[in-house]
Copies of this chain bind each other. A is one copy, B any other.
Amino acid sequence: MTASEEGRSARKRTAIMDAATKAFMAKGYAGTSMDDIAKLAAVSKQTVYKHFTDKEKLFAEIVLATTDRVDAMVDLVADIPADAQALDENLTRLARQFLTALTQPEVLQLRRLIIANADTFPQLGGAWYEQGFERVLSTLATTFHHLADQGLLRIADPHLAANHFSGLLLWIPVNKAMFHGSPQHTQDELDRFAAAGVSAFLAAYR
């Protein structure tokens, strides 16, 4: 095993994870068979079962693996320049990135996948909410707290303000996307959502 290459076993494992992620996202938990995954990963079924004891375990693992990708989002909301002049502009930029990220097809598919199976895997939905959703919200709340300290915002409860910020932005576009198969949002529409949401937020919290 060199530095640039993993061992065969590890390679197969990631191939299976990738294939399973793609398959589950596209066809749901029940709609995906272990044979599908094995075929898509170009791996024998036996190998799948060597790495993951059963379908449920495999599913849990691929879902939890996606929480890593939240890091980028956390970084995004971790810091906003304390510039009173450009507050509007800075928040709007954040809002745009927020909206764009959350209306990506893969993100929406993942949301649907988890929600669809929240009954069957309650602990999984809970974990994803805590580690994905709530983590971003807490970071945003801290950021708002700083801005409030510096007198740029008037915020009693930063966590609540973070809730309101995301609610103003996301409720409509995310819902629309959840119920329709595909996103169907132009960048232009998203920008308008961002501008309107930020404007309402600042009216309430500046």
On A, residues with C-beta under 8 Å from B are 26-28, 30-31, 112, 114-120, 122, 125-126, 128-129, 133, 157, 160, 163-164, 166-172, 175-176, 178-182, 196-197, 200-201, 203-205
Contact = CB atoms under 8 A, between A and B. Distances in A.
Contacts of A166: 171
Contacts of A178: 115, 118, 125
Interface residues of chain A: helix, strand, loop or mixed (majority): helix
Contacts of A171: 163, 166-167, 170-171
A75 to B, nearest CB: 22
Contacts of A31: 30, 120
Contacts of A203: 203-205
Contact of A204 (B28, B30, B120, B204): B204
B196 A160 contact: yes
A21 B190 CA distance: 36
A115 B118 contact: no
Contacts of A176: 129
A133 B179 contact: yes
